[in-house]
Amino acid sequence: MVVKWEELKPPGNQVMALARDNAGNVWAGTEGKGVWRYAPPRPKAEVRMQNDEKGEGGKQKAETTSSGLRPPSPPQAAEKGEWKQFTTKDGLGDDYAYSVAVDQQGRVWVGHLNHGVSVFNGTRWQNYDVPYGPIGERIFKIAVCPTDGDVWLATSAGLTAVDYACTTLKQPDDKLKAEIIKLLKNPLK
């Protein structure tokens, strides 16, 4: 599907970071305008019913297709793409979002200019700032480890890792720092 840029009504010209979640939504971190979620257009649900046949209790019977039963379902929302803005009023640490990532559990992580990291669990935002969050208040980059699901934050005071369950904050020891520098100099092939 091709969508014209003018039809998207984007969040502005100062988009600093992008991420895509498993539902296909695009998350945009902006400079001074918070975080925006773009829910792309969803196709209308196609459900063909046999109007003359009734199932148990008088309910319509779902049509049988080569792929199995197609149960009756309500039409899907968001037939048009739509933007939703999130700001400090919604729980962000600040409205300057310079890094965005989605972890293996589908949580959205946003790194801020001056207030640590905010995490969206699908329902609400929670901000974690110094001293109860990452070791630095400015987050430059967020990376999710594909093997263990840990979330790594590159901050103004060094690295912080958050375990998959979000129960432990870790700062790397000297040995791990040396391994990270080694990997950065000589990436795995």
pLDDT digits (tens, 9 = 90+) for 5-20: 555 565 666 899 999 9
φ and ψ at residue 129, rounded to 5 degrees: -130, 170
Domain that holds residue 129: 5-42+78-185
86 by DSSP, 3-state: which?
Answer: strand
Indicate the helix (H) or strand (E) that contains 183. Answer: helix 174-185
What is the reported pLDDT for 9? 60
What was the pLDDT predicted at 21?
A: 95
Quick check: is 67 in a domain?
no
**The whole model's pTM is what?**
0.69
According to the model, what pLDDT value does residue 83 have?
87
**Predicted pLDDT at 41:** 82
Confirm whether 108 is domain-assigned: yes
Work out the number of other CB atoms within 10 angstroms of the CB of residue 180: 13
Q: Which residues pair with 60 in a beta bridge?
A: 54
The reported pLDDT for the residue numbered 159 is 87
Say which CATH number the domain at 25 has: 2.130.10.10
Q: Which residue has the higher pLDDT, 40 or 62?
A: 40
Beta-bridged to residue 126, according to DSSP, are: 119
